[in-house]
Amino acid sequence: MAFPPNDDISFRDFQTLIRNMYYEKDAQRGVSGTFMWLMEEMGELAAALRAGNDRDNLEEEFADVLAWLTTIANVAEIDLTAAVQKKYGRGCPGCGHLVCTCAMEEKP
């Protein structure tokens, strides 16, 4: 499954794409090993955000973080579409509104 440029990709489609590309390696690495790769990518994203002036690099690092997070979900057998719908499908988990009204110091 590949996506032509500029096509919308659902969570489910993306998770399937990542599973098809990487699952064999990911399963061998396990959740702990894969988590370490995610943390490395988070560091690269942090550096790109600090630099802030290279949009292509920012896009690449955001995509990498999303891919590694999706990889961990695959190894842990978590359906991201279902998880996102369950947690956020009816609004903010803190206040329950579609536009969050929680205080800034609160973590919804």
* Residue 24: per-residue pLDDT: 95
The residue ranges of every structural domain in the chain are 11-77
pLDDT at 9: 86
**Structure tokens given for 72:** 């961990």
How confident is the model at residue 2, as a pLDDT? 63
Q: What is the pTM of this model?
A: 0.85
Q: Looking at residue 6, what is its pLDDT?
A: 62
Roughly how many angstroms between the first and final C-alpha of the chain, as a whole number? 35
- What percentage of the chain's residues is helix, strand, coil (to nearest 5)? 65, 0, 35
pLDDT attached to residue 1: 58
pLDDT mean by block of 10 residues, the chain; 108 residues? 70 94 94 95 96 93 97 97 95 93 86
What kind of architecture, by CATH, is found in domain 11-77? Answer: Orthogonal Bundle (1.10)
